[in-house]
Structures are given as structure tokens and as C-alpha cells.
Chains A and B, each alone.
Chain A
Amino acid sequence: MAETDINLLPEITAVEVKEGVFRKKINVAAVFVLLVVIAVLLGAFAYRGIILLQARNIENEQKKREESIRNQVEKELVFREILDKLNFLSQELNNTPPYSKIAAKLNIIAKKSTVSINSISTSAAGEVVLGGEAPTSDTVDKLVEGLTDDTKPGFSSVDLVDLSGSVADGYKFSIRIIFPDRGVLVEDESEEF
């Protein structure tokens, strides 16, 4: 005679079955999470190892290059000296007023004019003071006009500082000029003496 189990409380069994499945899933998930965490941790260790290895290689390469640079120290020193000196020269030559051009311009103007220039003094600030004698006040005007023309080097300011004298004795004058140009490196082939 066959025996048959009859479940008299099917709701309870269903809950137990559900709980069993849930527990199994939770356990699997927990193991999975643990494995993932361990994998990530191992990955981090491995990544650190790779970084350390790379750092060691880079350090070795750096040492080789340092050695090579030390062996070429004379080249480096000479090269730096050349550049240092050229930079210095460039700066100084570009900041020096072009006195020869100023003198040339004054020379041309003085030759054209009937005034006689008795003194010239300059300063590094870019100031030229001319002193001289003129037979008439008109000749001083012409001199000032000549100094204020557009030919290079241009003077940014020409001031008649002092003019004294008489028609009979002639005039003494003093003119202050400011020249803004700087630099003696400009190539000028037209200079003739």
C-alpha cells in the first residue's frame, strides 16, 4: 500500500522554502562580494608592485642619464657661459643709447647752421645739453627746427633752456634734448666718415 505525505500546512512550507532560497542567495552573494573584495585588494597589491617596478626602472634610467650628463659637464659649462654672456650683451647693447648716431645728427645740424656749438654733454638718462653761440636769434630758431625734424634718431623733446645776449654781441644759448632711442645693434651700412 502506497504511502502519501500530505502537507497540512502548505503556507508554512512555502515560507520555509522561500527562506531557504533567500539564505542560499545571500550566502552566494556574500561569497561573491568577499571574492570581489579580495580580488580588488590583490589587484591593488599587484598594481603597487607594477608601480614599484616601473619606479625602479625609471630610477635606473635616471642614474644612467645623470652619469652621462656628468661626463659632459664641460660642454654644459661652456654652453651656459656662452648663453649667459650673449644674454647679458644683448640686454646691455639694446639699452645703451646710440651715441654715435646722435653725434652724427648733431654734426650734420651744426654744419648746416651758422651757430657754433661750444659744449655737448650727455647723460645715461637720455639727455643731451648743447651750449653754444649764435650770431642772431633766428639762427637759434633754425637750429631748434633742425633738431625737431623727423630724421632718425628722433629727439622726443627739444627745449631752449637759456638764450641770452644782444644783437651787437651775439647770443649764447643752451638747449636740452631728450632722445628716447636705445640700442646700438641696429645695422646701418650708410655710416660714412
Chain B
Amino acid sequence: MNQKSFNADKLKEYFLPVAVLVVVVLIIPFAFLPQVNRIRFQAEELGKGKERLKLLEDKDNALLAMSLEELLATRSAVLTALPQSQDLARLIVGIGRIAALSEVGIKSMDFKPGKVATESAKEATSSVKQNTDSQPSKQDSKVKGELEFNVSVVGNINGLQRFLSLVEKAKRIFLVKDFSATSEETSLNITFKLNAPYRELPKLSDINDPLPTFSTKEEELFSKLDRLFIDYTNIIIPPGKVGKDNLFR
């Protein structure tokens, strides 16, 4: 009996430390640890936010430093090399000029619209399929096209060499896939398989995508295109009315 009253007295005497102990023990799991977790989460979010802000600042500053006029001038030069569409009229004129300068006679030019159309259709359907995906694919921004065609010419070995040399240095890029030549009496019948690539406008990327840098590799290429490559396709095609207003008349 005495022992019990003694314990109760002792408990009363140590009420404050015991209460503090209980409060601390309760505060740590129910208030302190959740708070620490929230702080950790918010600090991570803050870090991500700072990173994104840095990225946006860099991108914005880079864009501010650019001149739209200069960019449009550069783009115009690049579009000569790699247009957004097949641009057949200029392409045919270019090949004609190159053939004339090489002193070879064009026998025929054989374009393959069926193949190109099929490829375009494939690209179109694949892009539609990609667009249905919830995650935007980086492939979306790179739509390329190829226009393969054969050019048959008559000439000699010098003409063959010169034609190849001019084609390789033409500002409108023609890629020689292969060629074959067979002699016929005094001349060579030569068939070139060429590819005139074109590339559609890339789709605008996400605002969070960093701006790529214009490296020395691209600068060198642009400089070479400007200095060494010759434009054989610089003709003015007057804008005219194409197609029919009413298909039923």
C-alpha cells in the first residue's frame, strides 16, 4: 500500500519530464517526421524548378541574342540546299544546266512518283500513328523525304567525271547513289541514280526542350555550302494559277 502511494507520489513529482517525454515521443512521428518529408519533397521540387528556370533562362537569352533577319537569311541559303518539298521544276533545271556544263547530252530523266508517294504515305500514316501516342516522340520533329530519280546521258569519260564533280558541288544537294556506264561505239551511255533529298519543316518541340547549339561542325558546313557549292537551280518560276476552280466543268 505504502509502495503504491510512493509510486504515485513519485509520478506526480516527475509529471513534467514524463509529460515532456510523452509530448516529444508523439511530436516526432506525428508532426516532425511528416514535416521533414514535406520539406524534402518541396526541396526536390524547388531544385527541379530551379533547373527548369535555368533552362528557360538559357533558352530565352539565346533566343534574345539571335536576330530573326539573320536567321531568315541563313535559312534561305539552307533551303536552297535542302528544300522543304521536292521542288521538281528547279531540280530539273539544275540537272539540265549541270549536263550542259559537263558536255553530256541528257537522254532521259526517270522520276519515280509511285515510290515517292508510297513513302510519303508511309510517313504520313506513321506520323498519324505517332501523334495518337500520349508521349510525343522526338521522331515527329524529323520528317525527311527522298526523291530518287535516274538520269541517262550520253558523253565520254571526261563528261562523266565532270558531271559527277558538278553534281557533288551543286548547292541543291544531289546524292549520287550509283552510276553505270557502257561504251557504245565512240560514246558512253551513262545512267546516274540520284537522290534529291528534301526535308519538311520540323515540328515545334516542347517549351522545356533546350535549344540546340550551332556547333563549329554546322558552321563549317554552312561556310562550305556558301563558298564551294554552286547554285544551278536559281530560276524564277512565276507564280501562276494551278489546278481547276471547278472540277466538274
Interface residues of A (CB under 8 A from B): 23, 26-27, 29-31, 33-34, 37, 40-41, 44-45, 47-48, 51-52, 54-55, 58-59, 61-62, 65-66, 68-70, 72-90, 92-93, 96-100, 103-104, 106-107, 110, 116-124, 184-185, 187, 191, 193
Contacts and interface: CB of A to CB of B under 8 A. Distances in A.
A34 B24 CA distance: 7
A14 B223 CA distance: 99
A151 to B, nearest CB: 15
A94 to B, nearest CB: 9
Contact of B176 (A37, A70, A96): A96
Contacts of A82: 71, 74-75, 78, 214
Interface stretch (B111-119, B122-130, B180-188, B234-242): B180-188
Contact of B60 (A48, A65, A107): A65
A172 to B, nearest CB: 13
B68 A74 contact: yes
B142 A75 contact: no
A37 B82 contact: no
19 contacts: A27-B17, A30-B20, A41-B35, A61-B53, A65-B59, A68-B63, A75-B63, A79-B66, A84-B141, A84-B202, A85-B78, A85-B82, A88-B197, A89-B82, A98-B168, A103-B164, A107-B158, A107-B160, A119-B180
Interface residues of B, number: 80
A74 B63 CA distance: 10
Contact of A124 (B71, B178, B197): B178
Contact of A75 (B43, B71, B175): B71
Please provide the 9 A-B residue pairs with the shortest distance between their CB atoms, ordered closest to farther.
Answer: A100-B164, A30-B20, A121-B180, A100-B165, A30-B17, A65-B56, A103-B161, A72-B63, A86-B218
Contacts of B89: none
B247 interface: no
B97 interface: no
Contacts, number: 210
Interface in B1-46: 13-14, 16-17, 19-21, 23-24, 27, 31-32, 35-36, 38-39, 42-43, 45-46
A85 B228 CA distance: 18
Contacts of B212: 80, 83
Contact of A83 (B23, B39, B162, B214): B214
A77 B72 CA distance: 11
A83 B66 CA distance: 14
Nearest to B181: A120
Interface in B201-233: 201-202, 204-205, 207, 211-212, 214, 217-218, 221-222, 224-225, 228
Given A92-B173, A99-B176, A85 B17 contact: no
Nearest to A110: B157
B208 to A, nearest CB: 9
Nearest to A45: B35
B212 to A, nearest CB: 5
A70 to B, nearest CB: 7
B183 A116 contact: yes
A68 B224 CA distance: 34
B199 interface: yes
Contacts of A119: 180-183
